[in-house]
Amino acid sequence: MKIQLALDRLEIADAIQITRMVEDSIDWIEVGTSLIKEFGMASVRELKQAFPAKTIVADMKTIDNARYEFEMAFRSGADVATVMGVSPLVTIDICMEVAARFNKKVMFDLLNTSEDQVRELMNYRDAIFCAHVSKDEQEESGERNKGTKNGALFTENEVQVAAAGGITIESLAALRKSLNPSVVIVGSAITKASNPTQAAARLKQAVLKGE
């Protein structure tokens, strides 16, 4: 199971500094949507320059204008870019085509994506499927990703699964049982911890031990 560090609501310099503190414990680096909206592609470029050996995920949350946005993300150094699962299939097709051309990957953000839509997306075997509980759901209703959404669908189909949304070391075991994601996306549990290095190291230990 890989750990994807989600960098949100930070200045680029602070995002780089926190990532330096935890880089030994994490695998992928997500340039969060909030960084991309605030600082544009400079955030993707700077994170890639600072960590050239890491997989950089640009959390574009594309829903339209896919060719322009995906080419921009990959040219800026992203290795993976996200598109919303609710997007029209023409948009999904473009994302897949651009990613194949750049030899990069697409992650589907399944926020608010119906089961029927997820079933349709299962045809895109090369994509990563991200089960996501949103920041607003977390902050307004206290929801956390426990892996209950779309779990059965993923076990029926052999696709790469990621999970995001308020994940902590405490929720890891339940998530592993329900969804068993190959990528676990963790933001605030690391970036907002009083000691991010320790928080990330503990998470890594838990992942390695299969806790």
Ligand X SMILES: O=C([C@H](O)CO)[C@H](O)[C@H](O)COP(=O)(O)O
Instruction: Give me the residue label for tokens 């029926």.
Output: 156
Contact present, 66 and 87 (Cβ < 8 Å): yes
Shortest CB 130 distance to ligand X, Å = 8
Distance CA 82, CA 58 (A): 7
**∠ CA(75), CA(80), CA(81), 5° rounding?**
80
CA 137 from chain centre, in angstroms, equals 17
* Closest residue to ligand X using C-beta atoms: 187
Q: Which residues bind ligand X (CB under 6 A)?
A: 6, 8, 30, 32-34, 59, 134-135, 138, 164-167, 185-189
Name which of 16 and 167 has its Cβ closer to ligand X.
Answer: 167
Name which of 39 and 97 has its Cβ closer to ligand X.
Answer: 39
Tell me the one-letter amino acid at 113: T
Partner residues linked to 4 by β-bridges: 28, 185
Shortest CB 115 distance to ligand X, Å = 21
Shortest CB 136 distance to ligand X, Å = 8
Shortest CB 156 distance to ligand X, Å = 25
Name which of 6 and 128 has its Cβ closer to ligand X.
Answer: 6
Name which of 117 and 138 has its Cβ closer to ligand X.
Answer: 138
Q: What tokens were used for 28?
A: 């992928």
CB atoms within 10 A of CB 170: 10
